[in-house]
Amino acid sequence: MSEEGKFLGVSITIWEGIQGVLAVVGAVLAIGGIFWGVIEFRGKLEADRARETLELLDVWETRGYLESYRALDDRIQGVLKDVPQADIEAAAQNPSILETLYQKASEQVLADPRAQKDFEDVVYFFERMHICVDAKLCAQEATARFFADTVTTFGQVFSVPLQKFPGGAPEFYSST
């Protein structure tokens, strides 16, 4: 047999087969690397979002927003304790009556300038939270777990003041 069709004593056909196999293995590894990179990138994004969500929670708890929310809740509860029990029961059965009850209670509470400041502080925080989630800087699911009930209750109790908010209803309220 002739030495012309060989390289290092091995047939060129075998070398071409090896080359083909290595090309396939290289392509598979390259595609696997791309998938791994995407998974790592998405994991890092989620970790960053989780960190931002925890920082948001820290801001809520340590910078006075939680205290403002609690102060408003205490004031609302103080107003509601003076409402006759029959009216409370009627409001529990009829959403229209409940809305009117909360409207009157929130207007009474917000007549106090300190309560008005607490209200504005809470609105500011919820707007900040909404922007964080909307911009995908905070994790939507984790933020919802921490704040969904709080935002919903606040929006229900202060519905009319939020609708009359200077510049229009805040985004966090409009999206609930």
In this predicted structure, what is the pLDDT of residue 36?
A: 84
In this predicted structure, what is the pLDDT of residue 176?
A: 61
Question: What residue type is assigned to position 85 of the chain?
Answer: Q
- What are the tens digits of pLDDT across the range 65-92? 999 999 999 999 999 999 999 998 999 9
In this predicted structure, what is the pLDDT of residue 170?
A: 94
Q: How confident is the model at residue 35 (pLDDT cuts 50, 70, 90)?
A: confident
C-alpha pair distances (Å), 132 with each of 65, 153, 157:
16, 20, 24
Q: What number of other Cβ atoms are within 10 A of residue 87's Cβ?
A: 13
In three-state secondary structure terms, 176 is coil
pTM confidence score:
0.75
pLDDT at 1 over 50: no
Helices (H) and strands (E) in the chain, counts: 8, 2
Question: What residue type is assigned to position 15 of the chain?
Answer: W
- What are the tens digits of pLDDT across the range 103-145? 999 999 999 999 999 999 999 999 999 999 999 999 999 999 9
In this predicted structure, what is the pLDDT of residue 3?
A: 56
**Cβ–Cβ under 8 Å, residues 97 and 90:** yes
**Cβ–Cβ under 8 Å, residues 90 and 99:** no
